[in-house]
Amino acid sequence: MPHRFHFLHPLYLLALLPLWALAVWLARRRAHDGPWLRHIDAELLARLRLRGGGGLSPWPLIAALWTLSVVALAGPSWQRQITPAYRLPAAWVIALQLSPSMQARDIVPSRIARARFAIDSLLSAAHAARIGLVAFAGDAYTVAPLTDDVATVRNLSRALSPDLMPEHGARLTPALDKAARLLDAWQGHDRQIVVLMDGVTDPARAMMTAERLHQTGIDVNVVGVGTIGGAPAPNGNGGFKRGRNGKIIMTRLHPAVLRRIAAAGGGEFVTVSQLPLLIDELRAAGLGNFGRAQLAPHVHLAHWLNDGIWLLPLILLLGALAARRGWT
């Protein structure tokens, strides 16, 4: 991008018009003795006037001083400074459950819709972290490997639906293993798995897997999607699951189980409405590794320099001249 002259704070330039008007008004007012002759001798008044040697008026000099000061405050800029960018050594893998139960509507508009909103919030908070995405139900699948292309991950997450899964289920263990394999390729210290789910059919194995991952430096966080009161469980074919007695089966959130999985994984458990709390924790973990920030290759930051500082010597010089004896 070519360099171009502009002002960083152009609104300061609005002060020029009233300052120029004030200088003109004061100069004209000083040019006339007016009513002062009634109280001060004319010869004394001539010596008290704001005039320099040789009868020169100081007001053009003062107007120039005011003008330069305002221009300096406006921040004239014509050059940019290029600096290298650094990336926090963080990697997050988001695991989204796509069981038919995620279509339940005990939260508005539905569990799967709220989960997508939660993913969007996580991606917005990721900043420099690398992001991966895994979908799971009866088995787990990689939707996006670790990448810094957050926009692509966001677009992929919006297209995910329980209808896409080849088999039903809610097995968390394969999802944790899949996410761990993605994170194994990352050499950073901050490695996080965030699972968005409403239930699990393999809690014992999931807790063992989460504990094993935590021992390798990977934290497992769980976001519960749904309510304790629950809702009729969708069967994946547009209807609801029914028991042997013909009654509709309810799908409910069981926070105690999900909390134990998160605790085994050294992470946090929150409901989807408490997601900001988890985001704060993830950010804090990333800042804790700030001293290990890595140079981001092929990425540079550019900012415009405030060159108004070069006007300061001239402003000081004019200020010294305006302060000469006989003008103040």
Quote the pLDDT of residue 161. Answer: 94
The answer to whether the beta carbons of residues 147 and 153 sit under 8 Å apart is: yes
- Whether omega for the bond prior to residue 109 falls within 30 degrees of 0, making it cis, is yes
d(CA 135, CA 175): 7
Reading phi first (left if > 0) and then psi (alpha if -120 to 50, else beta), residue 176 is in: alpha
Mean pLDDT by 10 residues, the chain (328 residues): 73 87 74 54 58 59 84 84 61 96 94 96 88 96 94 95 92 97 84 96 96 96 96 85 87 96 97 94 68 49 75 82 60
- Domains assigned to the chain: 6-79+305-322 (no CATH), 86-298 (3.40.50.410)
- CA distances from residue 67 to 16, 23, 275, 311 in whole angstroms, order as listed: 6, 11, 52, 11
Quote the pLDDT of residue 321. Answer: 76
Quote the pLDDT of residue 243. Answer: 82
Quote the pLDDT of residue 293. Answer: 46
Quote the pLDDT of residue 303. Answer: 67
d(CA 59, CA 52): 10
Quote the pLDDT of residue 158. Answer: 94
